[in-house]
Every structure is written in C-alpha cells, then in structure tokens.
Amino acid sequence: MKEGKRARRHQMLNKSLKRKETVYVGNLFFDMTADDLRTAMEKFGVVEMASIIHDNRGLSKGFGYVRFSTIEEAETAIAQQNMQVLEGRTTVVQFANTAMSRSEVDKTAPTFTLFVGNVPYEMTDQDVNALFEDIHNIVDVRIPVDRRSGMPRGFLHVEFLDIPSAVRAKEMLSLRDPYGRKLRINYAAPMKMQQRRSIPEEPEM
C-alpha cells in the first residue's frame, strides 16, 4: 500500500518536472559505481554520462544522475525503472532538477583503473586470462557478480601499477572483440577508492 502511494507521488512529481535528457536515480546501494549505474541504464537507451554523487569525504550519497541521448530514452527509463528493483533495492527514477553539463560528459582523464564493459557473459576464467595475457603491470582484476544469481554482470574493473600501463592497456583492449563483441573501455576511479565509498549516508531526495 505504501509502495503504491509512493509510486503515485513520484508520478505526479515527474509530471511537474521539466522533461529533459537527464534523470535522477535514487535509493542505490552505496557500493554502486558510476560504471555500474551506466551498465544498468544502458538497456533504456544511449547513456552519454552516468554519475554517482559523493559527499566531501568521497562517500556515495546513494543516488546519481544519468544523461541519455534523447528525452524519449529518459522517459523510457522512468517508465520502466521507477519504483522497480535494481540490485535488490527499489529505485526512484525521475527527471532531474538539473541537467548534466557537456564538460561532465567529456571527462576522460586517465587513471590507474580501467572499466571494461560489454564483456560477453559466456566468457570463462580461461577466456579472461587470455584477454589480458599480453597486457602488463596488472595489479588486480575485479569481476562483479549479481548479488542474487551469482552470475557475472558483463563488465570488469582492472587496476594497474601506473597510469601509463593503463593507457597502453586501453589502446590494446579497444581493438579486441571476444565472442564477436566490441569491448567498451573507459577510465574509472581506483578500486580502493570505490571500496572506501561503501559507508552509507542518508540519500537526498
């Protein structure tokens, strides 16, 4: 009953907000990264930018923003994901009160860590080892799995000894297509920083 009232309240709120390409996504797990959010929302359209909001300590506030390429894609995300379960939590998805700037979309500064997306679900541990066989200075590879099914979620985080190694690896991996799928490679926040962001704080609504 409470969920129904909450859903109706958010529907009315969405009607009062200006239609735009950017949506607010709330009630997220505090260990969810921007790459996790991007992957979850790509089924609704082309995601130009995904961002998790952090406090001044670098900890996630439990919400973020996603900018789609069109308003129609944003509307699809709201219609299909608002008040629906994402990674075990009922999310709030609505038009954002503010829009993402183009400068935020274009942030591509190299880091020690690579996000490797569009990874085929059928890849085995042997396939993953072969993918990185000739890539040097890898410190750690993280393969996120679904909390409920225990199955891989279709992306990896790879941490390197230094930034030049990550830059070289990005160039090499961008040319590979395991099982016929083109990998999507982006720089990401170091995994140790992501782990420090797991302490919860009350999300802003």
Residue 181: which CATH number? 3.30.70.330
Same domain, 14 and 101: yes
Segments forming the whole domain that contains residue 30: 2-105
Question: Over the stretch 29-39, which tens digit does the pLDDT of each residue have?
Answer: 888 888 889 88
pLDDT for 150 equals: 80
Structural domain count of the chain: 2
Same domain, 17 and 56: yes
From residue 35, how far is each of 5, 19, 39, 82, 117 by CA, in Å? 31, 24, 6, 19, 9
Percent of the chain predicted with pLDDT > 90: 38
Same domain, 24 and 117: no
Question: Over the stretch 59-101, which tens digit does the pLDDT of each residue have?
Answer: 788 999 998 989 999 999 999 999 999 988 999 999 998 655 4
Q: Is residue 197 part of a domain?
A: no
Same domain, 133 and 158: yes
Does the pLDDT at position 193 exceed 80?
Answer: no
CA dist 47 and 57 (Å) reads 27
Q: Is residue 143 part of a domain?
A: yes
φ, ψ for residue 91, nearest 5 deg: -90, 155
Q: Are 78 and 94 in contact (CB under 8 A)?
A: yes
Q: Is residue 138 part of a domain?
A: yes
Does the pLDDT at position 15 exceed 90?
Answer: no
Same domain, 64 and 136: no
Q: Is residue 195 part of a domain?
A: no
pLDDT for 55 equals: 72
| Length of the chain as a residue count | 205
Read off the pLDDT band of 51 (50, 70, 90): confident
Same domain, 33 and 10: yes
Domain end (from 105, 124, 139): 105
Read off the pLDDT band of 102 (50, 70, 90): very low
Same domain, 9 and 79: yes
Same domain, 142 and 87: no
Higher pLDDT, 116 or 2: 116
The verdict on pTM exceeding 0.75 is no
